[in-house]
Amino acid sequence: MRIVIFGGGGREHALAWRCVSEGHEVHVAPGSDGIASDATCHPLALSDHAAAVALCHRIAPALVIVGPEQPLVDGLADRLRAAGLAVFGPSAAAAELEGSKAVAKAFMARHHIPTARYVRVDSLGAGLEALASFAGPPVVKASGLAAGKGVTVAESFAEAELALRSCLEGQVFGAAGDTVVLEERLQGEEASLFVISDGERWLCLPPAQDHKRLRDGDHGPNTGGMGAYSPAPVCDAGVLAQVELEVIAPTLAGLRAEGRPFVGALFIGLMIEQGRARVIEYNCRFGDPEIQPVLFGLQAPIVPHLHAAARGDLAAGGVLPGMPAATVVIAAAGYPGKTVSGAAIRGLAAAAALPDLKVFHAGTRHSADEGWVTAGGRVIGVCARGPDLRAAIARAYEGCALIEVVGGQHRRDIGARALALA
């Protein structure tokens, strides 16, 4: 099958690698120097929808996958479908569940989906008033897209107020922070669940757990993700059954009833406490880096399901099988704040020679003069699989030890919670 994937980060590299490993011809736009080692890349701007359609007409793919959230929220999937293509990715109307946290929370309230109490505010005065209504420091979320960095899990009311002022006064997230959601802080363990849907039926991938904080022990600022592992034992069969009944089914039914059926990958961020889950957030695409270990460990083909979802004839049922896998993200100096590109990366070939290990490129570039250098905040994901999670994590860190990203940083406790439960 000929497949076109739109995007150029670690998520798209993992998707491209997986599709190629299943025997398909893969084209990625714009792709990256790292992705080019596994698939054919076509430089273009994701904001240029006409160019995206023209590329697909030249390649004539059987399946198109839109990877990142911004083009989905901007309606790229709609434009591609209108051109007669089979597209895995939601409409702009359905993608609003990620494009606006305020819209998503209101949707959950309308459809009785278990989640935390929240207040939407559009001004500092309203925000300060709402802040006083919480018994403990709330989570402060910029409502719009902020590359995974718009959430502050406040440890004090002073920290929550600072985050509120940063959004509404300081404009640190631009227009994405013009509306803020204050949300009751849930307790428990987080998990990430990816649901493949054709708008009516669904299929789950093995659950994962992401590590959002920059430093070991879940300290430091929130990031787009510093590592992940799968499967996540906290999301067991009982939790999955509850989530299917109380979250997935009413979410998909609610979207259909509102005239915006969801076709694509629905990410559901869960907080699990005492065997029950509540929804933290929705995303309208595969999450990065969680999808890296999920796809690397998957033990059944995924492309037929993506194709079926795009065509509207997905066969529902259960969770695809996966073996344990883990990804450690190596980030540039300064991340999640300002970073400077061009730092040298060494040892990629040595790491790639290890069995059951793959390096996924998120923010790199390559030239004959410089070799591999950094070109973004999150630079690479070192992903490994094994017979059990401990072995997978050990192999991922074995790969990290062979790689030097000058000035780089990474966590050394990915998967620690799961290992503690083992």
Residue range 268-283, pLDDT digits in tens: 999 999 999 999 999 9
Q: Which two tokens stand for residue 362?
A: 């998120």
Looking only at the bridges linking them, the beta strands covering 227-230 and 209-210 are antiparallel
pLDDT digits (tens, 9 = 90+) for 186-234: 999 999 999 999 999 999 999 999 999 999 999 998 898 999 999 999 9
Check which CATH number belongs to the domain holding 125 and give it: 3.30.1490.20
Mean pLDDT of the chain: 95
Check which CATH number belongs to the domain holding 266 and give it: 3.30.470.20
Domain count, the chain: 4
The answer to whether residues 196 and 307 belong to one domain is yes
The answer to whether residues 233 and 247 belong to one domain is yes
Instruction: Assign 422 a pLDDT band (cuts: 50, 70, 90).
Output: low
The answer to whether residues 6 and 47 belong to one domain is yes
The answer to whether residues 66 and 156 belong to one domain is no
Whether the model clears a pTM of 0.75, i.e. scores above it, the answer is: yes
Q: What range does the domain containing 241 cover?
A: 189-311
pLDDT value at position 257?
97
Check which CATH number belongs to the domain holding 399 and give it: 3.90.600.10
pLDDT digits (tens, 9 = 90+) for 66-115: 999 999 999 999 999 999 999 999 999 999 999 999 999 999 999 999 99
- Concatenated DSSP letters of 215-235: ETTTEEEE-S-SEEEES-TTS
| Residue spans of beta strands (DSSP E) within 53-188 | 63-66, 87-88, 118-121, 139-142, 151-153, 180-183
Cβ(172)–Cβ(336) under 8 Å? no
Does any domain span residue 95?
Answer: no
Q: Which two tokens stand for residue 166?
A: 């940063």
Give which of 287, 189, 281 is closest to 239, Cα–Cα.
189
Q: Is the pLDDT of residue 378 over 90?
A: yes
Does any domain span residue 104?
Answer: no
